[in-house]
């Protein structure tokens, strides 16, 4: 069965860029344009991986969505990757290096935008789907 | 150093004496009054202050000593010369004790009385001079007091806070604005060190000044009294030096720069937002181009057509965004060079709608115009075109297939009224609220593929406002939006 990736971003074009590349690599992809849409989609689509933009309706929409997904029984184990350009814009660096950081920010990974499609593909394949056992479901 | 015309009173019952003295001194240009009785002498002598009094000690009715007493009682500085035929040590002592200036024994030669008179007059001159000086000094003291209170009033009226400190940081002077701007909880007391009153976070205000002390040329310090930028003050402190260049103290002027700080904050927020908005289309363009260059979807060029078209579209938005930014900054800086001319609004509308005819058709829309003739406004042609272009292109972009773009013009109480209406996706109330905000763009499923800068309507509003006009929007979500613009009609 194909692995499922849910991507949430309010920029139409970014979705257009990633979808075909991920699909071509053999993933089933579904997209949402806002955190609210993303949460609904998650419940029905039940992805193996969530890619979410940080700033959508609000500058921290990505955090909030991540937190909500992790609070769902079906989402507790689903890896979430937050894509953000915030480190350039605010000078704040996000990381999940320490246990404290991981506890607060439940995202599994952060990626600095912009991420070229092939790099994103390489990263998630390596990090989450390198062996069949590591994938959820 | 001379009294040119002295006033003299002679009190003597002897006619010969009175006339003799009168003739002697009137000949010298003085004024001489006489009194033949003691009673009259007192009356005249008290009614007016004479420079020199000649008083006979033995007058018929009243004792000369009594006359002397009455006059000295009224004018303590009066110069009285006692004349007596029976000069004795006792009377001389008695009268000088009572304040007589001198005494002269009768009979006397003119030279004798002249000598006494000259010395008496000189004395009188000193007395008058001293009195003058005293009066001037009093007046000057009064002036100084008034000057002080005037300066005090001026200092208290200055909007900036002012404090003067001596070398030991003790308060010498301050105005009410000073403690108010610093929001000091304790009262400033003259003569007490300012350090006692300043809260911890303001102590460096004094420390920095006194660390440099003798070398200090002037120092500017900024303090946030109420964070983040609600109350920010700038303290401008300069030393007060004497003529030997020694530092006597400091004068510190406090200015409320909160507004400036707020502006700085807004500016940096704007720059931040602008950077974000510039980056978004570039990120998309970069992503698309990477796909093409990497051949992410295979070697067939036709696969990439859509991506390239989309890149082009977003790069056009980028150009528009940059132009809008430049226009907004030009309007804000007041650097717009306008060429005001008399324009027919309806003709302008028609030309802009014609310009979009192709796009309207391509989008499967139809346009309808209801134009009023002869609506003349005084405006810059380019700016009016920018307003119309923005509103009409929005009506096209945010419309739906088979939709309608309706543009109407009419006359309304001194205004030309322009209505641009679409049958498109509309806005939610909370979106409408933020419509004219810089960089605001409605984000909902309908808008995701529509490109825009979020500055178009900001710009339109700024332009309309600058003509003393008005712009309003009415919108129903998923049904359409109506923009109404009022621009003052040209005066005939």
Q: pLDDT per residue over B69-86, tens digit each? A: 999 999 998 999 998 876
Disruptive mutation site among B282, B285, B289, B291 for chain A (greatest number of A CBs within 10 Å): B291
Please give the pLDDT value at position B320: 85
Is A59 at the interface with chain B, CB within 8 A?
A: no
User: In this structure, are residues A118 and B294 in contact, taking their beta carbons and an 8 Å threshold?
Assistant: yes
- Determine the 3-state secondary structure of B404 from DSSP: strand
Of the candidates A14, A34, A118, the beta carbon closest to that of B284 is on A14
Kindly provide the b/e burial profile for residues A59-80, where b requires at least 16 CB atoms within 10 angstroms of the residue's own CB. ebbbbbbbeebbeeeebeebbb
Chain A residue numbers touching B296 (CB-CB < 8 A): 20-21, 24, 117-118
CB contact under 8 A, A17 and B287: yes
Please give the pLDDT value at position A104: 65
Segment A111-117 mean pLDDT = 84
What are the backbone angles phi and psi of residue B410, rounded to the nearest 5°? -160, 175
CA distances for B438 relative to A85, B283, B457, angstroms:
20, 21, 8
Per the listing, tokens 């814009």 go with A89
Is B292 a residue whose pLDDT tops 50?
yes
pLDDT in tens, B115-140: 999 999 999 999 999 999 999 998 98
Segment B347-351 mean pLDDT = 93
pLDDT in tens, A54-98: 888 777 788 889 989 999 999 999 999 988 876 655 555 566 666
Residue A137 — pLDDT band, cuts 50, 70, 90? very low
pLDDT in tens, B298-319: 888 888 998 999 899 889 888 9
Please give the pLDDT value at position B270: 82
Instruction: Output B277 or B149, whichever has higher pLDDT.
Output: B149
Percent of chain B at pLDDT above 90? 48
Please give the pLDDT value at position A80: 93
Kindly provide the b/e burial profile for residues B417-449, where b requires at least 16 CB atoms within 10 angstroms of the residue's own CB. bbbbbbbbbbbeeebbeebbebbbbbebebbee
Is A10 at the interface with chain B, CB within 8 A?
A: yes
Fold assignment, B257-334: Helix Hairpins (1.10.287)
How far is the C-alpha of B33 from the C-alpha of B48, rounded, in Å?
Answer: 11
How far is the C-alpha of B261 from the C-alpha of B222, rounded, in Å?
Answer: 11
Average pLDDT in chain A: 83
Of the candidates A33, A89, A114, the beta carbon closest to that of B283 is on A114
How far is the C-alpha of B141 from the C-alpha of A119, rounded, in Å?
Answer: 88
Residue B52 — pLDDT band, cuts 50, 70, 90? very high
ipTM exceeding the 0.85 mark: no
Segment B99-106 mean pLDDT = 86
d(CA A123, nearest CA chain B) in Å: 15
Please give the pLDDT value at position A136: 46
Domain B7-134 is found in CATH 3.40.50.2300: yes
User: In this structure, are residues B167 and B210 in contact, taking their beta carbons and an 8 Å threshold?
Assistant: no
The answer for residues whose C-beta is within 8 angstroms of residue B28's C-beta and 6 or more apart is none
Segment B30-51 mean pLDDT = 94
Please give the pLDDT value at position B6: 93
User: In this structure, are residues A46 and A4 in contact, taking their beta carbons and an 8 Å threshold?
Assistant: yes
Highest mean pLDDT among A128-132, B347-351, B354-358: B347-351
Name the residue ranges covered by the structural domains of chain B: 7-134, 160-256, 257-334, 338-492
Chain B contacts to A (CB-CB under 8 A): 272, 275-276, 279-280, 283-284, 286-288, 290-291, 294, 296-297, 307, 310, 314, 443, 445, 448-449
How far is the C-alpha of B162 from the C-alpha of B175, rounded, in Å?
Answer: 6
User: In this structure, are residues B81 and B102 in contact, taking their beta carbons and an 8 Å threshold?
Assistant: yes
Taking alpha carbons only, the member of B466, B471, B465 closest to residue B486 is B471
Domain B338-492 is found in CATH 3.30.565.10: yes
CB contact under 8 A, A12 and B449: yes
Residue B178 — pLDDT band, cuts 50, 70, 90? very high
Helix intervals (H) in B404-455: 429-433
Q: What's the angle, vertex CA B214, arms to CA B208 and CA B218, rounded to 5?
A: 55
Kindly provide the b/e burial profile for residues B73-87, where b requires at least 16 CB atoms within 10 angstroms of the residue's own CB. eebeebbbbbbbeee
User: In this structure, are residues B308 and B288 in contact, taking their beta carbons and an 8 Å threshold?
Assistant: yes
Residue B432 — pLDDT band, cuts 50, 70, 90? confident
Is B422 a residue whose pLDDT tops 60?
yes
Please give the pLDDT value at position B447: 79
Average pLDDT in chain B: 89
Segment B276-294 mean pLDDT = 87
Q: What's the angle, vertex CA A109, arms to CA A104 and CA A115, rounded to 5?
A: 135
Residue A134 — pLDDT band, cuts 50, 70, 90? very low
Q: Pairing state of beta strands B231-241 and B219-226?
A: antiparallel
Fold assignment, B160-256: Beta-Lactamase (3.30.450)
């Amino acid at each position: 069965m194909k692995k499922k990736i849910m991507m949430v971003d309010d920029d139409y074009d970014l979705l257009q860029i990633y979808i075909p590349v991920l699909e071509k690599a053999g993933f089933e992809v579904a997209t949402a344009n806002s955190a609210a849409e993303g949460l609904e989609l998650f419940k029905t689509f039940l992805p193996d991986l969530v890619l979410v933009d940080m700033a959508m309706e609000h500058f921290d929409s990505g955090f909030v969505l991540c937190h909500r997904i992790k609070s769902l029984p079906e989402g507790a184990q689903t890896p979430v990757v937050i894509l953000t350009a915030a480190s350039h814009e605010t000078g704040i660096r996000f990381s999940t290096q320490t246990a404290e950081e991981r506890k607060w920010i439940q995202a599994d990974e952060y990626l600095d935008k912009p991420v070229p499609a092939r790099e994103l593909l390489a990263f998630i394949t390596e990090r989450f789907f390198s062996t069949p056992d590591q994938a959820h479901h | 150093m001379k009294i040119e015309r002295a006033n003299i009173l002679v009190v003597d019952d002897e006619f010969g004496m009175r006339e003799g003295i009168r003739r002697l001194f009137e000949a010298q240009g003085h004024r001489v009054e006489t009194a033949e009785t003691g009673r009259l002498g007192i009356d005249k002598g008290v009614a007016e202050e004479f420079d020199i009094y000649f008083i006979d000690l033995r007058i018929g009715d009243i004792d000369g000593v009594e006359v002397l007493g009455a006059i000295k009682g009224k004018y303590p500085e009066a110069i009285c010369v006692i004349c007596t035929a029976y000069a004795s040590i006792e009377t001389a002592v008695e009268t000088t004790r009572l304040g007589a200036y001198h005494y002269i024994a009768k009979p006397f030669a003119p030279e004798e009385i002249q000598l006494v008179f000259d010395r008496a007059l000189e004395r009188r001159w000193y007395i008058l001079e001293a009195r003058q000086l005293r009066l001037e000094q009093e007046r000057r003291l009064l002036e100084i007091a008034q000057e002080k209170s005037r300066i005090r009033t001026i200092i208290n009226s200055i909007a900036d806070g002012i404090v003067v400190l001596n070398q030991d940081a003790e308060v010498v002077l301050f105005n009410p604005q000073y403690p108010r701007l610093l929001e000091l909880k304790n009262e400033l007391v003259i003569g007490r060190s300012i350090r006692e009153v300043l809260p911890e976070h303001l102590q460096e205000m004094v420390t920095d000044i006194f660390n440099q002390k003798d070398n200090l040329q002037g120092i500017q310090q900024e303090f946030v009294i109420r964070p983040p930028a609600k109350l920010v003050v700038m303290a401008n402190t300069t030393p007060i030096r004497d003529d030997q260049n020694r530092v006597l103290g400091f004068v510190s002027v406090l200015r409320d720069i909160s507004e400036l700080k707020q502006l700085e904050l807004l500016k940096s927020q704007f720059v931040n937002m602008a950077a974000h908005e510039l980056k978004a289309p570039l990120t998309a363009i970069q992503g698309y181009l990477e796909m093409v260059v990497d051949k992410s979807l295979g070697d067939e060029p036709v696969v990439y057509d859509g991506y390239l078209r989309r890149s082009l579209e977003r790069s056009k938005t980028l150009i528009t965004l940059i132009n809008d930014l430049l226009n907004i900054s030009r309007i804000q800086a007041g650097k717009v060079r306008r060429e005001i001319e008399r324009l027919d609004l309806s003709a302008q509308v028609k030309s802009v709608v014609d310009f979009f005819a192709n796009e309207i058709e391509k989008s499967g829309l139809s346009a309808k115009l209801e134009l009023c003739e002869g609506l003349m406004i005084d405006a810059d042609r380019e700016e009016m075109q920018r307003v119309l272009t923005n509103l009409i292109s929005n009506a096209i972009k945010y419309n739906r297939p088979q939709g309608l773009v309706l543009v109407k013009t009419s006359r309304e109480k001194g205004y030309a009224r322009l209505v641009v209406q679409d049958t498109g996706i509309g806005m939610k109330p909370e979106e409408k609220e933020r419509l004219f905000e810089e960089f605001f763009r409605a984000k909902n499923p309908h808008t995701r593929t529509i490109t825009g800068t979020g500055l178009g309507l900001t710009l339109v509003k700024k332009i309309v406002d600058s003509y003393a006009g008005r712009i309003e929007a009415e919108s129903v979500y998923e049904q359409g939006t109506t923009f109404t613009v009022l621009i003052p009609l040209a005066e005939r």
